[in-house]
A and B are shown apart, each in its own frame.
Chain A
Amino acid sequence: MKEANPPLVELTDIHLTLGSAAGQVNILRGVTLEVDHGETVAVVGPSGSGKSTMMMIVAGLERPSTGSVRIAGADFGGLDEDGLALFRRRHIGIVFQAFHLIATMTALENVAIPLELAGASDAFDRAREGLRAVGLGERVEHYPGQLSGGEQQRVALARAFAAEPALLLADEPTGNLDAATGAAIVELMFELRRKRDATLLLITHDPDLAARCDRTVRMLDGRILPEAPAQRAAGAQRIR
């Protein structure tokens, strides 16, 4: 059953075909997905199933060959590359497995970038606040190379949430961390998401992590496998 509000993420019959030396490769073959406001969705599936590509399409980093993408009501088909960048800046935060902090910038500067891009005059105050929220209030002037993996991912989380996005995309955020650190990061991520009432789309290979989400989407060979009705219902109940 659909919510009264339109879904935050609406992918409709997405196909993506890329050319390679070996010929055309069909990476996505008719993906349709809706994610509601505030919902947390785990995307699981084997390597090469199209999880990351689907996330890139949701982030506006890749354009589908056919199909429509609407995020927060905006039709990506009508936005050019810079329009997509502006949209991302306002609505989407991304967390990567490899953190992807900029090595030449301090933790504070890394977190401030999205705010600076948005022209926020209080970018550094808010970035400092964000770092404090992830427990790194004392390490704002440290460079990524001076931080542990867990700390780097915390900075990345602070950066992803800095502009208070409606949608958080996370690509195996604990993949590069040990179990204890990973668990702490997951706690932090869910906590931040809850406080900001953000929608979460999470790629993971970890069944326990997937289980924490409202819903799990399974992908195989460029397609989303049909959801069991019980799972959908269970997911709906967990929406807070």
Chain B
Amino acid sequence: MWDSESSAGRRLPSEAERHVARMSRFPKSVYRHGTEPDVRFSLANERTFLAWIRTGLALIAGGVALELLGVDLQSSFRLAAALVLIVAGILTPAFGWIGWMRSERAMRLQEPLPGSPLGPVVAAAVSLAGILVLLGVLLR
């Protein structure tokens, strides 16, 4: 069967091939459930995940820079602030991945979208790091 709409004249996959494609998609914990959601929602889910990745990388970069660039702060508060930022930066990609999987699965099952602990975690970590840096300035 040939697709007359397709400019490249590409053959449409058979039902069996579609089944194989569905079964080989990773992770199975997502794709073995439900039916295909509106692609635009999957794409939005993907962009949300990538935004969390960039947030995590920024947290890591900030924490490492604070320690490496020799900022003039009381040294144990500086290290504590750096560690808070870096640990938040490690948690963010992990939770981002879990959140991507849970959202994708919920969309496939037409269930309500799950919440994410990431917002509060990042907010708490950045606030705490800010307080530690402030103390580091005051006590140097």
A and B co-occur in one complex: no
A residues in contact (CB < 8 Å) with B: none
B residues in contact (CB < 8 Å) with A: none
